[in-house]
Structure 1
Amino acid sequence: MASKTEQEKVEEFVNGRIGMMVDTLAHVNLIRERNPDLNFDVVPMPVTEGYEGKRGLAYASWGIGIAESTEHKEEAWKLVQYMMREDVNARLVSLANAFPGNVNAKPDFVTSDPVFAKAFEIFQAGYLANEFTGLPEAVDLMRQFDVETQKMLEGQQTPEETAAAAQAKWMEKF
Structure 2
Amino acid sequence: MRKFILVAALQLFFSIGFTQSFSIGDKIEAYNSGAWYKGSILETGTGTYAGYYKVQYDGYSQVQWIKAANIRMQQTSDANVENDKKGPRNGTYIILSYGSASNPIRIGYFELQNGKYTYYNMSKKNIGQGSFTYNAANKTVQWTSGPFKVANWSGKFEIDREGKTHKIRLNSVTIGTNSTDSN
Please classify the TM superposition score into its range, dividing by the shorter chain length.
under 0.3
With the length of structure 2 as denominator, give the TM-score of the two structures.
0.20
Q: Considering fraction of residues, name the structure with more strand.
A: 2
Q: Considering fraction of residues, name the structure with more helix.
A: 1
With the length of structure 1 as denominator, give the TM-score of the two structures.
0.21
Q: Which has the higher contact order (CA 8 A, sep 6+)?
A: 1
